[in-house]
Amino acid sequence: QLENQKIKKENWKFLRLRPANFPTIRIAQFSALFYKNKNFFSKLIESNANVHDLFDVSTSDYWHNHYRFGRKTVRSISGMGKDSINNLIINTVAPLMVAYGKAQDDPEKVERAVELLQSIKPEKNKITKTWDNIGFSVKNAFDSQALIELNNNYCLKRKCLACNVGIDILKPSRA
């Protein structure tokens, strides 16, 4: 049961975070998300509307000038940025849509998740930069997720010969 459960003050992590990413702000944004979007899951899964629009929420006035409880700031806090929304879609929404589509035996939902990832710019991180440096085109989030998956499940485990991409990379070049 979660009744009367409190998060201890020392468990809140603020160190090395930008104020816009403080847990207090993220919780306020999460609350605003569900307040604005009644039946959020249905809208997310069933709707053909722009998923980005579902995440375009504003927190209550209190959070416009507070980063933490009881500490007022002069800087204004806006809603979630486009990159934060894209990260949520890439790492939460798309996998959820795929899982739900498979559970409901609905390939259209799986395809919608793929199309959603293909409509988002690729993530920029160490893994995608490495792939880009060896000549792999990373055009969208679908590509970046695929390459991250290959890296984590084959490259890092040194399973190059169990991977078609690894085999292709290791082929002697015919110059």
What is the pTM (predicted TM-score) of this model?
0.80
Torsion of CA 137, 143, 148, 154, to 10 degrees: -80
Task: Delimit the domains of the chain by residue range.
Answer: 8-120, 121-175
Q: Identify whether the C-beta of residue 55 lies closer than 8 Å to the C-beta of residue 47.
A: no
C-alpha span between 25 and 29 (Å, rounded):
6
Looking at residue 135, the DSSP 8-state letter turns out to be: T
What is the reported pLDDT for 174?
55
What is the reported pLDDT for 115?
94
Chain center to CA of 77: 21
Q: For residue 68, which amino acid is it?
A: R
Q: Identify whether the C-beta of residue 94 lies closer than 8 Å to the C-beta of residue 72.
A: no
Confidence of residue 15 (pLDDT cuts 50, 70, 90): confident
CA distances from 94 to 42, 86, 123, 141, 165 (A): 14, 10, 14, 10, 24
Q: Identify whether the C-beta of residue 145 lies closer than 8 Å to the C-beta of residue 117.
A: yes
Tell me what the mean pLDDT of segment 127-146 comes to: 94
What is the reported pLDDT for 113?
95
What is the reported pLDDT for 109?
94
C-alpha span between 82 and 61 (Å, rounded):
21
Confidence of residue 144 (pLDDT cuts 50, 70, 90): very high
Average pLDDT, the chain: 89
Q: Identify whether the C-beta of residue 117 lies closer than 8 Å to the C-beta of residue 87.
A: no
Residue 13 CB-half CA count within 13 A: 3
